[in-house]
């Protein structure tokens, strides 16, 4: 059996937005809430947000939901892939705090 796997650079798969010059996919290291909350250096509107194993990482999940809601444009979609395992160090847990879907 022979298998060929192309060696592509990620940059070659996407083109920059003609208005902003930014690529449609953004990966940014650091504190998500500090970077993307209103007034933060990365705050802007997205049509879609895709996260993987992400909801259970903050100490304040409600603040995370508020920041995510502030990033989504009208009709925007947030897709999270991964488990909902609340950290025991978090100030709130799934059983103590109800969360609502923003829409």
Mean pLDDT of the chain: 75
10 has a pLDDT exceeding 60: no
Mean pLDDT, residues 63-68: 91
Residue 36: CB atoms within 10 Å: 21
Q: How far apart are CA 74 and CA 92, in angstroms?
A: 29
pLDDT of 14 reads 61
pLDDT of 69 reads 92
Q: pTM of the predicted model, to two decimals? A: 0.57
Q: Concatenated DSSP letters for 55-77?
A: TTSSS-HHHHHHHHHHHEEEEEE
Q: Model confidence over 69-99: pLDDT tens digits?
A: 999 999 998 888 877 666 555 555 444 444 4
**Could you tell me the pLDDT band of residue 37, with boundaries at 50, 70 and 90?**
very high
Q: How far apart are CA 66 and CA 56, in angstroms?
A: 15
Strand ranges, E, within the chain: 46-52, 72-81
101 has a pLDDT exceeding 60: no
pLDDT of 87 reads 59
pLDDT of 70 reads 94
């Amino acid at each position: 059996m022979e298998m060929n796997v192309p060696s592509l650079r990620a940059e070659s798969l996407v083109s920059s937005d003609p208005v902003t010059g930014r690529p449609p996919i953004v990966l940014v290291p650091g504190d998500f809430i500090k970077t993307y909350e209103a007034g933060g250096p990365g705050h802007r509107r997205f049509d879609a947000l895709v996260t993987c194993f992400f909801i259970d990482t903050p100490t304040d999940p409600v603040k995370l939901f508020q920041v995510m809601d502030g990033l989504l444009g009208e009709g925007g979609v947030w897709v999270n892939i991964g488990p909902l395992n609340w950290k025991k160090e978090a100030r709130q847990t799934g059983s103590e705090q109800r969360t609502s879907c923003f829409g």
